[in-house]
Structures are given as structure tokens and as C-alpha cells.
Structure 1
């Protein structure tokens, strides 16, 4: 404005604004001296990374004057606190910081209304707050009815407070840590969506959460809803099939005595470093899986795999079951097995479903990997180890526990357990005695022997149950106009040539109208139509 011939206008409004700015600058807040005969007011605030507070007091003109300020940057484990815990933590820090002022005087602590509403409506479930209140004060909250108070007293008998956390006594006597809504979502994501989750069913996901020591009353329902809305699970799950032949269970009574070997592939696309197949081995007793990505399927590769991944880790088995492919039935393989005293059985001669354990493993690993790969799908060789991790720590219905526990006698320690430690881990950290640790390990080994004796019985019972269910005929589904559905991608049929990790379902689509009994016309979600009708056999409901 001061260059050239530009003019500068100075109006009365400008002069008034300028005088106002000078007065505002002159009134910069100055810390006032405290008057201990008057009340103090404390304003608290917490964010994801910091805490802040200001101590004020009103003067004779009822104007608030600042007395002291406090700020604090959260560190290490403090950053993992929930927002509710951070708002409680700032009050603790305030009491320590301002105790010289507020000691023997009346003080009022204020936090933003939105924070209070968030804590009351989102951070803590009502059941958690009521039970904690009863266990802390010995009485129920006053707002509850007589019937609700009676219910709280009965439920509280199953809970204990320990180190400011609520625990529930489980059916097996273990104490399960109760978690709030924010932590519930974190656990469901960790045990279903993330690397060690594996996108298993709601029953398996719930079982995994309970086994590592966490609980909330709606766990089963929440897990079911979470997985029902999982897009990866809906679009990648396989189509139900009829049982072609009755099952014939294979009786195994000891671990690592019989392994099933098989190849997955040829995989399309190949990995970024040229792998085209996955070679897998599954122990029939423990359900432990070994797998490696390979670039060729020669007999030499198979022999090296057996030696490096089975013999040197688990000992020499009695039997290895494979299909009748040339790389499993060559003279080199037979000589190798004969040299170690291993009986080599081929499913085509041994029994048509005799290598079903390996086929089941292959199907399971592919189902996990296809949900973990990136858009190019060429990083599947890296995600294979995440799939193995998830499979080994997941309880198997046939044996009643995870393969990891059957092999090692203890549950695997996972990243989420370190971040949100359950009760057993807290106690383990406290116990630093070598003798106590040694005694505990010996006890685990004795218990492991008992567990393995029970596993044989569980496998037999499970096999009979699976046989009964598998041999039944599949049931048709009922759909109605307006339903949102997915359509089975026929390119995944045996004669198809689709990518191994591609989505198994197309859609979603909307059912426009019936074309006949169990046959429907479909529309895309944008309103355009598919020209031909589709059988309900190839449809399933889509949940969102």
C-alpha cells in the first residue's frame, strides 16, 4: 500500500479498530496471586498425545484470572490409554501439579461437556460401569430399579477388580479381562482381520479371544455381526458342495506319526520372485502345518522338504500320504522314504479321500492368503507365513485346542496380547523366580501328555460328527425380491482358469423378480440388468 501512487484511507472505524488492538495487546494475561480464602477452578483437557490444565480464580469483579498452567506430553505406554483413561489421567496429574494450591481448599474440576458425554455413551458399557460401581462401593448405582439391582448383585459374584481392571471368572476357572467398546473392536480386528487372524468364522474368532483371556457379554453376537459384514469373508468364501462319497475316518493316536503332503498350484499369478507352487505338509494328529513356496515340483524338492521341515524338526514319521502325482511316486522319493523306514502311501491306491487332510490344509491356506495379498497378488509368498501363523494358533474343532498348544504345551504369545495384557501374562511378568518358572514348565509338560491323550478321543468323536454332517445332502436357500446377493463365479469351477487368489463371488446384485422355481433375474446396484436368470444354487445373501 505504501508503494507508487496508491492512496491510504484512514476512517473513524479503522482508528477505532486500531485502538482496540492496542488495548488487547496491553491486556496480555498475567498470572495472578492466589487467594486461599476463595475457591479454585481447574480446567482440564486431554488429546491423543498431550494433557493440559489451567488453575484459575475469580476476582472481586467476578473475572477469572489464571493462577498456574500445566502441560504434559504422553509417553510410551501412556499413549496406549483409552480416551477415558487419558481424561482420568489428566485429573491425577492436576492433583499432583497443583496440590500446593488446592490442599485444604475447595476446588472445582471442569472438563469439556463433549468429553463427559463421550465417556458416558461410548467408552464404557453400562454393564461394566454398574458392576465396577458395585464391587468398588458395595452398593448398586441409585438410578437402577430394584430388579436391576438384584441382577447386578447376582452377576457381580462372577467378577473381581484387580489393579483397576475388571475380570470375569470363566467356565474353566480362568479370569478373563473385561474390555470396553474401543478395545472390543481392536480385539475383533486383530483376531479376524489382521495378519494372525486368518478371517475365520465367528465361532473360531470368539474361541480365540476367550482363550487368550478377554471377555464382554455380547462377544458372540458382536463377533458374528463383525464377520457377517466383513467384505473379504463374503466375497472369498467358497460355495457349499454336496458330499460325493461317504467319509472314511483315518485313526491316528500319536503326534507326528503320519503326515499328508500335497502341492498347491500352479498358482496364477506366480510370486514376484518366481514361485509357482506351495508345498504343504500336515500332521494328522496335531494338525500342525508346514509349508514353503517353491519354483519347481521335482522329486528333489519334495525330498529336501521332507528332510528339512519334517525329519529334523519332528522326527521320522511312520507314514507319509500323498496323491499319485509323478513327483510323489518317483523312484527317488521311494528310495528316500525306504532309507528312513517311512511307509509311503498314495491316496489313489490307499483310499480316494485318504489325503483329505492335506487337501483341507491347502484349501484353508489359500482362503487366508487370498484375503491378505495386495492388488497385484504377487506377494503371496510373503503372506504365506502370516497364514501359517494364523493357522497354527487357531483352535481346531477336531482336537479342541490350537496346533501350537498341542505341540508346545502353551498358547502362543501374540502382539495384541503384549499391547493389551491379559491376567495370565500380568502374573507371568511378576513371577521372576527361576525355580517357579521351572516348576511351572514341568507342570505344563505333564499336562501336555494328558492333553494329547484326550486329543485322540476328540479326533475320533469329531470325525464321526463330520462324517454325519458331510454325508447329508445340501439344502436349498430361499430368496425374495429385493434381496442383495452375491453370484458364484463359475470361472472357479474345476475347468476354469481364474487366478488362485481372486474373489470367488461376483456382485453384489439385487434380485429383480423370479424367473421360475429357485431361479432369479438380477440387477446391478446401479440399476442395469443381467440378461439371463440364475439358479439360487449359485447365490448367497450379501450383508452390509
Structure 2
């Protein structure tokens, strides 16, 4: 259009061409764009643009920067083409150095999948905690199981992890995110109670589980003990410092109240389930705001995150973040 004033046939397209052409000028045989950051920007062909990107990114004075920073450098030098930023982004993402030394992704790759249990003790999660300092009987491991509905915990100290031990525990007491959460509670309490006597951790286990069972959980708003047995347990402090319910205790009336609690326990569990579903829904919404979807197809090459054990120690701080591609 700038050379021979030829316009497209469509009225709207012709108007668009006239408006866009005002930003360009021909000097000699070269097309330039009137820039804002730089007065005149030389317009490049696809092959010229590819060379400029490669030289600015990987040349002698090149720098492995981000897409916007790279596009800004191209503009400051005095070059332009319509897909400048997209080409910079595409070139950087395909660069081996960018992939091999790029930061590890901390965002979750997919949305959170909520797990719900329909009724008490229908679904359990199991996990192994340890090894601990050897205790009496050479106990070193702790097998933990938690009911997804009531949050009731069963735990068993073991000398070693075997198929037979796992089967015995499962048949006696009865997958894994809630068990891991229970592990954190148990481990935190063991650390606080044992201090220097690390080998006595099995002796503290029963009191820790009792305290946990009598503590209201944020998800259900109830104690695991009440969701299991229909009523709250009497805790030791009520024995020495007499509570109100101990002062007015009547054995006959107490038996009637316990029977009534058992009749009403289903309603109590339904309310707890509603609280838990609402709590998990809020948690999943917060979690899903950080999701960065990633998908792979059969035949794709992938990079593996290198942990400290896989890194070459001679590289020191210059060691790559990723290994491969595989």
C-alpha cells in the first residue's frame, strides 16, 4: 500500500490498512515502523528475525533472559516484526539451556481431588512412620491408620515392616493423604513430650492417641471419640478438678442419656459430614487457584528434576536443575 496505494477490496479492511499504514514508512528500499521506545524500527523478514533472536539470546553479547526482556532488547536495538513477543517466547521455551537450568515448578499440575467417606470406618488410610530411635523390644517403626470419616486413629509400633505385620494390623484394626496428616500430629507430639528420652516413644503413644481422639477436628467440628461412640469421653482433668457433669452424675440417668446419644449418633455424623464437605470444598478452591496444568502424550521427551543425590558434585552451584531429556 505504501508503494502503489493498493487497498483491499473490503471497506473495513481498506480502512484498517490505511490506519495501520500511518505507523510505517519506507526509506530507500527498507520498511520502518514509527516506534515509541525508538523513533524508527526496521521491519524484518522471518529469516532475519530468526537470526536476530538467536544472536540476542545465544550470541557473544546474548543473555538467557525472559521473553518480554528479550523482546525489549530487540526493540532497543531497532528491529520489529508483527509476532516479535510470541517468537521470543517460543524460542526461549524450545531452548535446551532454558529447559535444563529452568526453575523447578512448585505449582500443582492438576486440580485437587477430594476424597469423601460415606459412613464411619468404610474407608481407611494407612502409612508408615519411622525409623525412630530403637525402643524396648527394638521397636523402630510406627504403622498408622486413620478412618476418613471419624478421624479415628489406630497405631501400632513395629520392629520391622513385613507383609505379615501389615496383614495382622489390618485384620485387627480395620489411601494415604489423611494418614500422613495424622503422622504429623503424632510426630509433633512425640517430639514435644520425649525431649532427651527418645527411646521411650512407644510409652507415650497411647496418651497421644487419647488426646487426639478427644480433640475436636476442624474438618468435622467434632471429636473422633464422639463420632465413633456417640458421646464425648470424660478426660482425666475432670476427675481431679470435678466438672459439672461429674457433680450431677446419676448412673440411671446416665445410662438413658447414653442410649439416647446412640439413637442420635447418625444425625450427628450427618452434620459432621456436611461440615467436612464444606471444609474440603474451601480447601480445594484455594488449592486449585495455584494449579498450573501440565499434560504429556506417549512419545514426548521429558526432563527429570535432579535432586541433590543425582547432581554432579563437581558442578557445585552451576549444576543443572533438570536431567535428560528422556
Give the TM-score normalised by the residue count of structure 1.
0.33
Q: Aligned equivalents of 1:412 and 1:288: distance in 2? A: 14
Q: CA deviation at 1:495?
A: 7.3
Higher helix residue share: 2
Residue in 2 that maps onto 1:199: none
Given candidates 392, 395, 398, the residue that maps to 2:219 is 398
Q: Which runs of 5+ in 1 are unaligned?
A: 1-241, 311-320, 322-354, 474-493, 497-544
Residue in 1 that maps onto 2:46: none
Residue in 2 that maps onto 1:301: 165
Q: Aligned equivalents of 1:247 and 1:440: distance in 2? A: 41
Alignment: residue pair count: 187
Q: Aligned equivalents of 1:457 and 1:248: distance in 2? A: 17
C-alpha contact 2:116 2:148 (8 A) present in aligned 1: no
C-alpha contact 1:243 1:472 (8 A) present in aligned 2: no
Q: CA deviation at 1:424?
A: 2.1
C-alpha contact 1:243 1:471 (8 A) present in aligned 2: no
SS at match of 1:256: coil
Residue in 1 that maps onto 2:248: 427
Residue in 2 that maps onto 1:361: 182
C-alpha contact 1:243 1:470 (8 A) present in aligned 2: no
SS at match of 1:447: helix
In the TM superposition, what whole-angstrom CA distance separates every residue of 1:367-390 from its partner, at most 9, and x where no partner exists? 111111140411111112221111
Q: CA deviation at 1:411?
A: 1.1
Residue in 2 that maps onto 1:193: none
SS at match of 1:370: helix
Higher strand residue share: 1
Given candidates 372, 384, 393, the residue that maps to 2:205 is 384
Between the two structures, name the one with larger relative contact order (CA 8 Å, sep ≥ 6): 2
Residue in 1 that maps onto 2:323: none
SS at match of 1:378: helix
In the TM superposition, what whole-angstrom CA distance separates every residue of 1:399-453 from its partner, at most 9, and x where no partner exists? 111000101111111111112222222112xx24x3x333212211122121011
Residue in 1 that maps onto 2:137: 273
Residues 380 and 243 of structure 1: is their aligned pair in 2 closer, same or farther, counting only changes over 3 Å?
farther
Given candidates 462, 468, 479, the residue that maps to 2:285 is 468
Q: Which runs of 5+ in 2 are unaligned?
A: 1-105, 291-306, 310-326
SS at match of 1:375: coil
Given candidates 261, 271, 274, the residue that maps to 1:457 is 274
Q: Aligned equivalents of 1:394 and 1:243: distance in 2? A: 33
SS at match of 2:127: strand
Residue in 2 that maps onto 1:221: none
Q: Would you say 1:261 and 2:126 are equivalent positions?
A: yes
Q: Aligned equivalents of 1:412 and 1:382: distance in 2? A: 21
Give the TM-score normalised by the residue count of structure 2.
0.53
Residue in 2 that maps onto 1:477: none
In the TM superposition, what whole-angstrom CA distance separates every residue of 1:230-285 from its partner, at most 9, and x where no partner exists? xxxxxxxxxxxx76454211121100000011110222x22243111100110000
Displacement over 6 Å in runs of 4+:
none
